[in-house]
Copies of this chain bind each other. A is one copy, B any other.
């Protein structure tokens, strides 16, 4: 019974988050989204290894903050649950995590151009986004974050921020809850696309730090619900 794993609202939102992030082009067959258990806060909910677009309530499992399965059956976990576990360990304020290979984000991880918000909708990504390189400590790897040391190192690079890029791999987005992290992951993708277009035209004026903070605070308000309703309605199964 999935309701043993987490409250119904968490389960429902997490399944929708998997579908929305696929439908909006943030995730493909790969990447994942998780949510911290609201009361057993040293646990988080995430699907076993399956393409996000196909995730249903029965696919969810409960893991501890070292990535070990606690409930939800024996099916194999994603290779990189260490990413989620590490962020939840480091950040008690974080209630949901997305790891993606969102297309427009990849170029900013392999070039020297910083990814910055250029419009108010992009402000949710924060003023500064670090690029973490697994090779700095681990040398040549398959790029996956597989153990606690790598997870610790990545979480430290994230720090108190919302987004960290992973060189040659993708990004991690941290948020207060599932809907917030979905919002940030989608506008991270949109803002990165727009910044690439703008950069091709010439020198780009990005948002100031003050604008970024004020716009992000505004977007943490009712705007989130308007967007969530829209993204749900766009899902093939929810179209009227």
A residues apposed to B, CB below 8 Å: 28-30, 49-51, 53-54, 76, 79, 101, 103-104, 106-113, 118-121, 123, 135, 139-144, 167-170, 190, 193-194, 196-208, 210-211, 214-215, 217-218, 222-223, 226-227, 229-231, 233-234, 236-237, 239-240
Q: Looking at A109, A110, A143, which has the most chain B CB atoms within 10 Å of its CB? A: A110
The minimal Cβ–Cβ distance linking A146 to chain B, given in whole angstroms, is 10
The minimal Cβ–Cβ distance linking A148 to chain B, given in whole angstroms, is 19
State whether B30 touches A121 (Cβ < 8 A). yes
From B79, B104, B214, B239, A140 is in contact (CB under 8 Å) with: B214
Give the docked Cα–Cα distance between A193 and B28 (Å): 15
Give the docked Cα–Cα distance between A120 and B200 (Å): 24
Q: Which residues of B contact A135 (CB under 8 A)?
A: 208, 211
Q: Which residue of B is nearest A197, CB measured?
A: B107
Q: Which residues of B contact A208 (CB under 8 A)?
A: 135, 140
Q: Which residues of B contact A207 (CB under 8 A)?
A: 143, 168
Q: Looking at A28, A223, A239, which has the most chain B CB atoms within 10 Å of its CB? A: A28
State whether A111 touches B204 (Cβ < 8 A). yes
From B144, B205, B233, A218 is in contact (CB under 8 Å) with: B144
From B76, B140, B197, B204, A210 is in contact (CB under 8 Å) with: B140
